[in-house]
Amino acid sequence: MKDVLTTCAFCGCGCGLYLQIEKGYVTGVTPSQRHPVSRGRLCARGWHIYEFVHHPDRLKKPLVREGGAFREVDWREALDMVAKNLIGIKDKYGSDSIGVIASPKCTNEDNFVLMKFCRAVLGTNNIDNGASLYDSASLPGLMQSCGFGASTNSLNELEDTEVILAVGTDTTQTHPQVASRITRAISSGATLIVIDPQKTKISSFANVHLRLKQGTYVGLINGIIHIILKEGLINEKDVSRATSNLDSLKKMVEKYTPDYVSELCGISGSDLAKAARLFAKADKAMTVYSTGATAQAAGKDIVCALANLALLCGHLGRPHNGIITLQEQNNALGAADMGTLPDFYPGYQPVNSETERAKFESEWNTKLPAKPGLSILEMLSPGRLKALYIMGENPLITAPDVGLTSETLDGLEFLVVQDIFQTETAEFADAVLPAASFAEKDGTFTNIERRVQRVRAAVSSPGEALPDWKIITELSKRMGYTMDYGSPAQIMEEISHLTPIYTGISHKRLDEEWGLQWPCPDKEHPGTGVLRRDFYEGPKAIFPLIEQNGKGKEHFTPVQDIPLMEPPDAQYPFTLTTGSLYWHWHSGTMTRRSATLSREYPDVFAAINPQDAEQLGIRKNQRIRVISKRGEMETAAMITDRVQVKTVFIPQHYKNTASKVLLNPSSFTNAKASEMFCAVRVEPVMKI
Amino acid sequence: MSRYEENLWIITRDNLFALMEVFIKTREVIAPVRGHGGEVIFYPIETIEDVAWDWQYVNAVLPPKRFFLPQTEVMFEYRHDNSYKITPHYDDQVRMIFGIRPCDVNALIFLDRFFGGGSLSKESTDEEPLFPDSHYIKRRANTFIIAFGCHQPGENCFCVCCDAGPFLEEDYDLQLTSMNADYVVEVGSARGLKIIYGNEHFFRKASSDEVKELERIKEGALNTFADTCAYVSKAIRRITEGKVDDSLWEELAERCLDCGGCSYVCPTCCCYNIVDIALSDKSGIRTRTWDSCAFAGFTRIAGGEILRSDKKDRLKRRFFHKLSYRYIEKNKRHGCVGCGRCITTCFADISMPSVIEAVRRQ
């Protein structure tokens, strides 16, 4: 019996917890008291994370499809078969006919090895990770404005700021650690401004809740900027010193007068002005946002608008002033850091830059493709690829359109799925490879405040399951390229060697501390809590991005509002939204197997406003039908004023949710971002 | 004072180390150890160096409850061929818990009554338990306890208001207290006395000066507590009489984030859920896991209805259960031992002291 300190594998907060081990089994969890994020606290998900680890459904042996069924095989047979097929497809159709989906749930080391495999062995940049389905906006949005596509500040700073602007985030449900910091800030006198169509627990603490119409975020934020400019509330000193492009921003927001915005967003002009003044006049203010803002076509624009607002008021680049992006997966940031992106190598070094490519080619001793690859939505569109390699991701549940996704998966000549459970996606696979869970492997996760933290093996894997990185290296060997790593620590050595923001990071150092926040440019560097303004004048070699943006400064990126892809109309008068529940996580493969967590919401439901329920004659728990232009689903009604009038909310975690059947597939053709909204009609299955 | 009071002993630090080495060889010894960054957790030790010997810590995040009621355990496995065959799983490990604080010992006495019908550290139980829990009882019987008195309570501690510390007066085997470079040993049970007599060369009788010094240390410890927690009895009376307005629970419910942590870190909370996991068509295991009355699903019944679906009702129930005289009478003690862990673990500052204070102000 021994307790093993590791990092929670659910949300992006990255709590430190000890797994309690008894006779080779994880039997419980102890929160770490001195860990800077958990501080002795865990949410219900964290407290129950041990429950799925030894679930009998865990994959224990490799599976190979034969006819309509799977056959258990040994590793040798499975890997030979996968290697043969991948080589065959590569030879026949070329490297770019193969795609790879990496996982924001797996470790940095797993993702790095998969990324290297994709680029150096398969020879394509067709790699993306599952987090891009929800948040493909933060990376380009923040990078364009602030130089880095990640949170600028640390979570604990929230407690000591004066104004918090929370945008599109049901924080208590998705990121309880962040929510508690917000409520603590409020109890010590901070002001909270919430921009969200939904009523959330956080919004009940708000001084101003701007309950805008869905799809009007950009208009609203531009409206706030308009007021700030008009009333002369900008932080002149910061803006003139550190930012560029103010004139075009001024021009862009001209039309967003209070009258125009209150009409557009359905909010009162006085609330708008109040929010603008509170935010602009504060000495310290922080912005937090989540998938409510990013999971839509306008996601990137919303992030840019928020960055514009923060820059304008000087609420960026200083302690207690910054933007925190609340990624929902444990290693969403790390997966991106590791270059599981179609256009970036690790550390956001662009693939189309000759110098970067030359560096990786010489290190890896092979030729690398120059052309940026396909995004996850492109890869999941029918007909784009011949083969797909999926690690720890379940797009059949998480991608916006289950119909299109299954058409894509069906149409592939070869599909490999590497996971801990036989997921819905794995049912389509030609080979299923059993992977180790977070409790069974060493490595690192990077949380939403850029903190790279250790994940430690506490128990052995069930059956023959192997760590993801190990599976990839074995496969790589069979495809003629040897990756010789003895341990994840060695993989991290290569990561830090090739990734400027990770240079000072090693497992040894991480073991001595509570993780390190990147950028960590050398072995003595203590890590970076606040991405400070003065970094931009610092050692530029470490920050090629900043140089690339060419400004050496943060940058205003004017944006204008675009309507929802599918606004409601007379025939489909409701807006369907989807999102997370506190008790579940992501596609639910783990939380639906936890007895305690799944007991809270065992089944999918559709939440509607009491006003709509009365009008339609729908009672609590009654079976209702939700119908979109593309399909329909039947489910139980939940009646709550947390959703706006003429809105339906269906949580995303369930197998038969079908909410995704209804969602807008046009996001595929647009291929920029998945939009988690569409127009629907609601009716009772039986009239009572 | 216990009836073993004449047996006040002194053990030097070196002798205590030597004695511990003997124990480590013969059983699993659980002790407070320094985890990452110096935080304290209870954990089986391999050598005496593992122990956080400075004792400069407040309570560990989790009480040693898990060594008697693990967060999850397999209770039995079943097979169904022609008939059912049930094989119980018992934990037969012989253990010693070293360095447990008086509040946590008092909590164990509380659990003894719940699972075993009376205090299991005494030679006989008060009454025949209605549903003796063999899993708990076996673990408890196999565990010897060496408690450590608190001469320097932590900032969140309020055991003194709950009659659960900072020193034990009954229901323990051995209680150690630091005195100068040595430890005073109080004996609270025949089991404890057996340890002394079995290792007599490590101990010497305390002198009358040392007895006086111990009294002085105990008095001194009492004086270090803040006096605000004296409102416990007021809270008990008002909750028992139903005089706490629901608006209090409503206000708390707005803040609670549903983590269940208060139940999990509480040394007296012992609600559990039963989960059967099928391993095949014909076999499976029955497990039990910690559960919390903070969860709505805790009162979910067939048909999906939830009896306490309002969070305010769940919070009210929780504090009612801890503080109402009805339960104190039934359990023969407080449902709270004043360890202060809920203060650390709550996202929303809903802890026993904050609720007691809110009841007073209402």
In chain B, positions 33-52, which contact chain A (CB-CB < 8 Å)? 35-41, 43-44
Strand partners, A127: A100
Residues of B in contact with A201 (CB under 8 A): 254, 257
DSSP for A579-627, please give it.
E--TT--TTSTTGGG-HHHHHHS-S-EEEE-HHHHHHHT--TT-EEEEE
A178-187, A225-234, A539-548, A564-573 — which is least confidently predicted?
A: A539-548
Give pLDDT tens digits for A556-602: 888 988 888 888 999 999 998 888 888 888 778 888 888 888 898 88
Chain pair A-B, CB pairs under 8 angstroms: 119
In a shared domain, residues A476 and A625: no
Residues of B in contact with A596 (CB under 8 A): 273, 289, 291, 295, 297
DSSP for A512-558, please give it.
HTT-EESP--STT----SS--GGGGGS-GGG-HHHHHHTSSSEE---
Q: How large is the average pLDDT for residues B289-311?
A: 91
Task: Name the pLDDT band for A324 (thresholds 50, 70, 90).
Answer: very high
- Across all residues in chain A, what is the average pLDDT? 90
Interface check for B70 against chain A (CB to CB < 8 A): the answer is yes
Most confident of A433-437, B15-19, B50-54: A433-437
Percentage of chain A surpassing pLDDT 70? 94
More confident residue, A631 or A304: A304
Of the candidates A40, A44, A51, the beta carbon closest to that of B258 is on A44
In a shared domain, residues A422 and A461: yes
Does a structural domain hold residue B79? no
Whether B63 shows a pLDDT value over 90: the answer reads: yes
The helix or strand, by DSSP H or E, that contains position A379, with its residue range, turns out to be helix A376-379
Q: What is the pTM of this model?
A: 0.93
Whether A335 shows a pLDDT value over 70: the answer reads: yes
A154-158, A407-411, A526-530, B1-5 — which is least confidently predicted?
A: B1-5
Structural tokens at position B197: 């007599």
Q: Across the beta sheet with A208-210, what order do the strands follow?
A: A208-210, A191-195, A163-167, A285-289, A322-325
3-state secondary structure B310-361: CHHHHHHHHHHHHHCHHHHHHHCCCCCCCCCHHHHHCCCCCCHHHHHHHHHH
Structural tokens at position B214: 């111990």
A460 DSSP 8-state letter: P
Torsion, Cα of A417, A421, A426, A429 (10° steps): 50
Contact across the interface for A5 and B264, Cβ inside 8 Å: no
Does a structural domain hold residue A536? no
Q: How large is the average pLDDT for residues A601-628?
A: 92
Residues of A in contact with B72 (CB under 8 A): 27-28, 50-51
Q: Token pair 């009646």 is at which residue?
A: A639
Residues of A in contact with B344 (CB under 8 A): 33, 39-41
pLDDT (0 to 100) of residue A9: 94
pLDDT (0 to 100) of residue A206: 96
pLDDT (0 to 100) of residue A629: 85
Whether A256 shows a pLDDT value over 70: the answer reads: yes
In a shared domain, residues B114 and B57: yes
Contact across the interface for B347 and A41, Cβ inside 8 Å: yes
Does a structural domain hold residue A231? yes
Bin B149: left if φ > 0, else alpha if -120 < ψ < 50, else beta: beta
Residues of B in contact with A16 (CB under 8 A): 36
**Domain with B314 in it:** 231-361
Give the helix ranges, DSSP H, for A35-94. Answer: 44-47, 75-93
Which of A50, A596, A621 best tests the B interface by mutation, with the highest count of B CBs <10 A? Answer: A596
Does a structural domain hold residue B78? no
Structural tokens at position A426: 């794995």
In a shared domain, residues B218 and B254: no
Contact across the interface for B257 and A179, Cβ inside 8 Å: yes
pLDDT (0 to 100) of residue A670: 44
3-state secondary structure of A238: helix
In a shared domain, residues B254 and B298: yes
More confident residue, A422 or A686: A422
Most confident of A83-92, A635-644, B174-183: A83-92
pLDDT (0 to 100) of residue A613: 94
* Cβ-contact A494, A505 below 8 angstroms: no
pLDDT (0 to 100) of residue A589: 80
Give pLDDT tens digits for A630-639: 888 889 999 9
In a shared domain, residues B14 and B45: yes
Interface check for B344 against chain A (CB to CB < 8 A): the answer is yes
Whether B125 shows a pLDDT value over 70: the answer reads: no
Round to whole Å and give the CA distance between A356 and A363: 11
Q: β-strands A677-684, B8-11: how paired?
A: unpaired
Overall domain count for chain A: 4
**Final residue belonging to a domain, choices A517, A548, A583:** A517
Cβ count near A68 (within 10 Å): 5
pLDDT (0 to 100) of residue A236: 86
Give pLDDT tens digits for B217-244: 999 888 888 765 568 888 899 999 999 9
Contact across the interface for A596 and B291, Cβ inside 8 Å: yes
Cβ count near B281 (within 10 Å): 7
pLDDT (0 to 100) of residue B136: 94
Q: How large is the average pLDDT for residues A252-260?
A: 94
In chain B, positions 234-263, which contact chain A (CB-CB < 8 Å)? 254-255, 257-261
Interface check for B276 against chain A (CB to CB < 8 A): the answer is no
Q: β-strands A16-22, A25-31: how paired?
A: antiparallel
Q: How large is the average pLDDT for residues A469-479?
A: 97
Interface check for B154 against chain A (CB to CB < 8 A): the answer is no
DSSP for B260-271, please give it.
-HHHHH-SS---
**Chain Cα centroid distance, residue A306:** 18
Bin A348: left if φ > 0, else alpha if -120 < ψ < 50, else beta: left
How far CA A664 is from CA of A141, A339, A567, A588, B67, in Å, comes to 23, 28, 11, 22, 52
In a shared domain, residues B159 and B220: yes
- Å from A620 to nearest chain B CA? 11
* Cβ-contact A603, A621 below 8 angstroms: no
B48 DSSP 8-state letter: G
In a shared domain, residues B218 and B236: no
Give pLDDT tens digits for A112-123: 999 999 999 999
Contact across the interface for B347 and A621, Cβ inside 8 Å: no
Strand partners, B289: B72, B273
Q: How large is the average pLDDT for residues A406-417?
A: 95
Contact across the interface for A600 and B296, Cβ inside 8 Å: yes
How far CA B336 is from CA of B109, B190, B248, B265, in Å, comes to 12, 28, 20, 12
In a shared domain, residues B150 and B189: yes
Which of A33, A45, A60, A182 best tests the B interface by mutation, with the highest count of B CBs <10 A? Answer: A33
In a shared domain, residues A463 and A588: no
What are the two backbone dihedrals, phi and then psi, of residue B11, each rounded to the nearest 5 degrees?
Answer: -125, 135
Whether B96 shows a pLDDT value over 70: the answer reads: yes
Most confident of A474-488, B126-140, B158-172, B234-248: A474-488
Percentage of chain A surpassing pLDDT 90? 69
pLDDT (0 to 100) of residue B6: 61
In a shared domain, residues B214 and B268: no
Residues of B in contact with A37 (CB under 8 A): none
In a shared domain, residues B349 and B211: no
**Domain with A48 in it:** 2-52
Does a structural domain hold residue B341? yes
> Any idea what the Cα angle at residue B128 is, between residues B125 and B134, rounded to 5°?
85
In a shared domain, residues A73 and A149: no
Whether A241 shows a pLDDT value over 60: the answer reads: yes
Give pLDDT tens digits for A337-377: 999 999 999 999 999 989 999 999 999 999 999 999 999 98
Which of B71, B95, B155, B270 best tests the A interface by mutation, with the highest count of A CBs <10 A? Answer: B71
In a shared domain, residues A304 and A166: yes
Residues of A in contact with B73 (CB under 8 A): 27
pLDDT (0 to 100) of residue B128: 63
In a shared domain, residues B155 and B40: yes
In a shared domain, residues A266 and A178: yes
Whether A541 shows a pLDDT value over 50: the answer reads: no
Round to whole Å and give the CA distance between A66 and B51: 56
Q: How large is the average pLDDT for residues A497-507?
A: 94
**Final residue belonging to a domain, choices B225, B242, B265:** B225
Strand partners, B79: B85, B283
Round to whole Å and give the CA distance between B256 and B260: 9
Give pLDDT tens digits for A45-99: 999 999 999 999 999 999 999 988 999 999 999 999 999 999 999 999 999 999 9
In a shared domain, residues A143 and A127: no
- Å from B58 to nearest chain A CA? 11
pLDDT (0 to 100) of residue A297: 82
What are the two backbone dihedrals, phi and then psi, of residue B112, each rounded to the nearest 5 degrees?
Answer: -55, -40
* Cβ-contact A198, B283 below 8 angstroms: no
Does a structural domain hold residue B239? yes
**Final residue belonging to a domain, choices B204, B225, B246:** B225
Overall domain count for chain B: 2
Whether A665 shows a pLDDT value over 60: the answer reads: no
